Chains A and B, each alone.
Chain A
Amino acid sequence: GAVVSQHPSWVICKSGTSVKIECRSLDFQATTMFWYRQFPKQSLMLMATSNEGSKATYEQGVEKDKFLINHASLTLSTLTVTSAHPEDSSFYICSASLGQGPYSNQPQHFGDGTRLSIL
């Protein structure tokens, strides 16, 4: 149980295009979903926390107009990287939790990530 599916797994696109990444909880309803970014050989960096039906809470330094997050249902959250540039190339990972907020004792279940390469 507790499977999180992330799609696509790999994206290569030209600079200036927008890319949408989907995160779905397949067998449970996720109260909260999280989006992370990970650079090679570095740990995950939380970008934003989203609760279904409300606006996402972005971490300091993360541009909310650049990284649009929509959490329309308890099983789906999307991250759209708008007008992507080479510096946006990274590994983006989502996670979903039954708990409220990142401090919850409920474990976070991670997707397998999306490798984004901007040419």
Chain B
Amino acid sequence: KNQVEQSPQSLIILEGKNCTLQCNYTVSPFSNLRWYKQDTGRGPVSLTIMTFSENTKSNGRYTATLDADTKQSSLHITASQLSDSASYICVVSDDYKLSFGAGTTVTVRA
């Protein structure tokens, strides 16, 4: 069964600090990996999408990395802002469907 596991489940950081979220997956065959940001009560918004050959991709203060050999990805948030408070979801695609992680809830405090 394809699985996507995210850690930590939740974290609290101070405004201006950096943090890194982890995503481990067992999805095979691998097609692509996406990170989404979901604000409370809203739909997810795409941050990055990476294919097998891509190791890193940035979107503003968000930087995603991918190690397809170890089947691990990370999302790094630089200089966090209050608006970064949200759930971050890792989604891995095989040749047929998407597998969703349970998400990491990030709370940024002033």
Identify the A interface with B (CB < 8 A). Answer: 4, 6, 41-46, 91, 93, 95, 101-103, 105, 107-113, 115
CB distance from A57 to the nearest CB of B (A): 10
Contact call B32/A105, Cβ cutoff below 8 A: yes
Q: Interface residue count for B (Cβ, 8 Å)?
A: 24
Stretch at the interface among B12-20, B71-79, B98-106: B98-106
Number of A-B contacts (CB under 8 A): 54
Identify the B interface with A (CB < 8 A). Answer: 31-32, 34, 36, 41-46, 49, 51, 89, 93-98, 100-103, 105
Residues of A within 8 A of B46 (CB): 107-109
Residues of B within 8 A of A4 (CB): 43
Complex alpha-carbon distance, A45 and B96, angstroms: 15
**Known contacts being A105-B31, A115-B41, is A43 close to B49, with CB within 8 Å?**
no
Nearest-CB residue, chain B, relative to A113: B43
**Known contacts being A112-B43, A113-B42, is A42 close to B49, with CB within 8 Å?**
no
